[in-house]
Amino acid sequence: MLRKKLFVILSKGAATAEQIGAVLPQHLEYMIGLEKQGALFASGPLNVPAGAPAGDGLTILRAANEEEARKIASVDPFVINKLRTFEVREWTVMEGSIGVTVNLSDQTIEFA
């Protein structure tokens, strides 16, 4: 068993789709920066039923501890602009696997 410690950021939307859209480029730039630093494991929006307010998300971070994960989450442009609140949870990865295929010719990625 792996017993790898990661941190899950559960973000709760508190904004309209228009407000989210206005800050989305800054948020994505921040997330890409975290990915390049090696801190971001995965991130993305949580799907909601049709017609329900959007804006919730899930991010999994590689961080030394909860304090570091909280600091990373607190400077997300969505949080700074009060469009999301967040909760930090420590997650211990015990089982599972991931397979990734990168197709260089068309720059697509497939997860298995």
Higher confidence at residue 62 or residue 106? 62
Going by pLDDT thresholds of 50, 70 and 90, the confidence category of residue 86 is very high
Q: Does the pLDDT of residue 48 top 80, yes or no? A: no
Sign of the C-alpha dihedral computed for residues 46, 48, 50 and 55 taken in this order: negative
Q: What is the model's pLDDT at position 42?
A: 92
- Which range, of 13-27, 56-70, 95-109, averages the lowest pLDDT? 95-109
The residue among 11, 19, 30 whose CA lies nearest residue 77 is 30
Give the side-chain half-sphere CA count within 13 A for 62.
10
Q: Give the pLDDT of residue 53.
A: 57
Q: How many distinct helices (H) and strands (E) make up the chain?
A: 3, 6
Side-chain-side CA neighbours of 17 within 13 Å: the count stands at: 5
The full set of domains in the chain, from first to last, is 4-111 (3.30.70.1060)
